[in-house]
Amino acid sequence: MINGVQIEVVNAPEKVGTGTLGVAVDWEVESFDAYHSSGFVTSYVTAPGSGDHTGDLDVFAYEFTTQSYFFLDAVDVMAPSNTVVICAFGDSITDGTHSTLNGSDRWANALSRRLHDAYGNQVSIVNEAIAGNRVVNPVVANSTSGPAATDRLNRDVLGLSGLTDAIWLEGINDLGASTTVAAIEAGYQSIVATLHAHRIKVYGATMTSSLEGIVLHAFEGKAPFSPATLKQIRALKAVYGLDLTAKDAHQLREPTEHAK
């Protein structure tokens, strides 16, 4: 499905797990209204104005690469009625931030392989995570982190064909933004109630260390951390322990050259 429009893929693998699905799209655009920033899979792009190359037997026209997903929202396949469809819902931890480019080693990929080994093709894992996503508003304006989970639930989760279960890991970005615990809990309760009303089983995954989330929030785009910063993080952890909260994030700053 591309931007809500159903298309037909004619060269898909005959069996699940036997190959990688490739989709070629000819679309002349100057800008993109929506895309998935953190794809962690290489896509290939031709030069603007170079024409339709979707039928090319070679790859020479595809001069540029990107790690983002454009246009393609989902791939629907025919499956037996007893197929278990599990949605992995959340933020960058589920989306695959810092995973291996083209390695398919997100935790959802690992779970998919384990379940396929155990149950064959009777199960499907669908990743609906967005890096930087939050449970509740406010979200970061004009960013690639998407609408809050409470706002995108119908589109991204309940809109999945044959959905039976959901695994939800989210909230660290809310804490990093100093959202109150009461507001996050209300978001959890609202989404779980909606999923249960649709007879969807939901499993809440344990959030990672809040310290890790706060550090990543404060140093966004600056990893890997310098030895000086790692030393500062260890010192803060020793002082604050489990009491380190989002209000302390402002103290986590890379030292400048003058301060070193």
Query: How does residue 254 score in pLDDT terms, banded at 50, 70 and 90?
Result: very low
Distance CA 75, CA 156 (A): 13
Position 8 pLDDT exceeds 90: no
- In the chain, domain spans: 1-73, 84-204, 210-251
29-85 pLDDT tens trace: 666 667 788 888 898 888 888 888 888 888 899 999 988 888 777 788 888 999 999
Amino acid at 27: W
Position 137 pLDDT exceeds 90: yes
**Domain 84-204, CATH number (from 3.90.650.10, 3.20.20.70, 3.60.21.10, 3.40.50.1110):** 3.40.50.1110
Q: What angle do CA 72, 73, 75 make, to 5 degrees?
A: 85
Position 174 pLDDT exceeds 80: yes
> Which one is predicted more confidently, 219 or 189?
189
Query: How does residue 242 score in pLDDT terms, banded at 50, 70 and 90?
Result: very low
Classified as helix, coil or strand, 157 is helix
Please report, to the nearest 10 degrees, the dihedral formed by the alpha carbons of residues 82, 122, 78, 72 taken in order. Answer: 120
Q: 10 Å Cβ neighbour count for 12?
A: 15
92-118 pLDDT tens trace: 989 988 888 898 889 999 999 999 999
Q: 10 Å Cβ neighbour count for 127?
A: 19
How much is the mean pLDDT over the chain?
Answer: 78
